[in-house]
Chains A and B, each alone.
Chain A
Amino acid sequence: MIELRAVTKVYPANPKPALSNISVEIARGEFAFLVGTSGSGKSTFLRLLLREELPTAGSVHIAGRDITRLSAWKVPAMRRQIGCVFQDFRLLPDRSVFANVAFACESIGRPGSMIKRLVPEVLELVGLSGKEERMPGELSGGEQQRVAIARAFINRPVMLLCDEPTGNLDPGTSVGIMRLLDRINRAGTTVVMATHNADIVNAMRRRVIELDAGLLVRDQQRGVYGSGAAVTVGSSA
């Protein structure tokens, strides 16, 4: 599904690579955590998958396609296969919940009848039925993130990229969001989630890919958050 082949990313202003010779493969339907300290290259990793960045060397393949060689007009079609969720939700504050979710559909030219059918469906999936007309400002952080997930999922992407989706949420709310992501994953969507939240990683016991200063230092099935000491801290907390 996702494959990075010997990917190196160097930003022009910084001689130190943000990612250095990374090769990873994530299968269809997998759930993978991307862990590492701030600046370890997690966000660059996700941005490469979205083709928000191009690697300086190496190639990125999604569904068997090298997206680094994609011509510009094919990029939108590629992005329709990917949903993304961010730490700061990125909702449109002047639009209702319904309009925020519908926006993703409208933007790719879906007909109105389809939008009217799909939006309530996906809002029910994320547990926000009955809150269609609320404005984002009237929702709690967890609810806002659910709207963001609904928006990311409404076009039925084959993979969901989450950049610290629980970063702004309290532990209880985070669990709810993780349950939702887990459900989406069990329905067949590949999920890649960058996170700092050790508890969640340790509780889920899914694949863990750890980056450190741009290097891939660990790739473990059913892994935990940090190696050694970090596990102790996590389990004692």
Chain B
Amino acid sequence: MTRVFPILRDAVKGLRRNLAMTLAVVLCSAVSLTLFGAGLLLNRQVDITSRHLFGRVELTIYVNDGITADQQLALATKLSHDPLVKSAAYESKDQAFAEFKELYKSQPELTQGVTADLLPASYHVKLVNPQDFTAAAAEYAHLPGVNQVQDWRGRLKGFFRFLHGFQLAAYILAAVQGLATLVLLYNTIRMSAHSRRRETSIMRLVGATRFHIQLPFVLESAIAGLAGGIVAGGALFGLRIALIDHRFAHQEFTPVLTHGDVWTVIGYVLLAGAGASSLMAFIALRRHVNAAEPKRPSRSLRKSIPPPRMARAEEAAPKKPFVGATVTYGSRGSTGSPDAHVSNGSHRRH
């Protein structure tokens, strides 16, 4: 059973020892996570807006006031049998007027003087595949009795492109900043591991598992990542309050992000902060721990082993230089004593 407390204590100690570096990691990750979170929120907002605008209707076919019953029947039949069309709802002039009044009830000056007569009847069409709107629009625009086909998606294209641009920019910035944060984290962990190499080497020697050696470091950077995530979460929540609650609370163009959406994104941001930083620490440490373990000898090294020498140093002692010496002894005129050729010092006492 692994004990949590000593490991947690080591992790906190490691963070405090390198406070400046920890702060840098926390701030850096906070910035990148805020950008990441902003991208996610923007994504969600685009989703909400497009669902609101296209949720019920993708095309609106306005019919002429003077449409004949035959023309209307032909149009309704064609719509109900069209494979492109998912559903089509008829809206009479009266219904259109009622909706118009409902929509602008806060601005009575706009509805003043408008009567049901002025508004056209229409079919609200939802397509099976929303991508088909150009084809569908073209098909109905020239039918008798049809006044105009309104293609909502086409008209709002520019607006969505603008939102998507923002979103893309947020993601790109988040990626660049995130990369910088990860490199910083990698460096920090390596430095931390280096400054604690005495501890880790003892741990290795007493038989700590790799997991146990890496855990304090991984935990340490997870804490830093989580701290960055919390700062980012705070920033996102602040942004939600400043922008939406105060600025866009009263617009009626589209519903806006709820608090629930922001909380979900904050959850993702915390998860990404802790997850990415622990993963990075794990990678950084794998190299550190691997470097300490011995490498298998290379094949070339194994081949380069000289043939085994004799086990006894006396026997293995180089004899060649003494051959010359022997000659010298011999020539010194010991008159060919049988002992003269004995060269090994250990035998000299004979």
Contact = CB atoms under 8 A, between A and B. Distances in A.
Interface of A: 6, 8, 10, 12, 15, 17, 20-21, 50-57, 72-73, 75-84, 90, 92, 103-104, 106-112, 151-152, 155, 212-213, 215-217
Contacts of B1: 109, 111
B3 A56 contact: no
Contacts of A112: 3, 5
Nearest to B311: A216
A77 B313 contact: no
Given A108-B209, A151-B206, A217-B312, 19 more contacts: A8-B305, A10-B297, A10-B304, A10-B305, A21-B308, A52-B294, A53-B294, A72-B210, A76-B204, A78-B207, A92-B199, A107-B202, A107-B208, A108-B208, A108-B212, A109-B3, A152-B206, A155-B206, A215-B311
Nearest to A15: B304
Nearest to B7: A106
Contacts, number: 104
A6 B305 CA distance: 12
B305 A107 contact: no
Contacts of B297: 10, 54-56
A80 B308 contact: no
B305 A17 contact: yes
Main secondary structure of the interface of B (DSSP, over half): loop
A84 B306 contact: no
B302 A109 contact: no
Contact of B301 (A10, A72, A110, A111): A10
- The interface size bin for chain B is 35 or more
Contacts of A215: 309, 311, 313, 316
Contacts of A76: 204, 207-210
B155 interface: no
Contacts of B207: 76-82, 107-108, 155
The 6 closest A-B pairs by CB, nearest first: A80-B207, A79-B207, A21-B308, A107-B208, A217-B313, A107-B203
Interface of B: 1-3, 5-6, 198-199, 201-210, 212-213, 293-298, 301-302, 304-306, 308-309, 311-313, 316
Main secondary structure of the interface of A (DSSP, over half): mixed
Contacts of A81: 207
B3 A111 contact: yes
B301 A12 contact: yes
Contacts of B212: 107-109
Contacts of B209: 73, 76, 108
Contacts of A152: 206
A84 B205 contact: yes
A56 B302 contact: yes
A56 to B, nearest CB: 4
Contacts of A82: 207
A79 B205 contact: yes
A83 B304 CA distance: 33
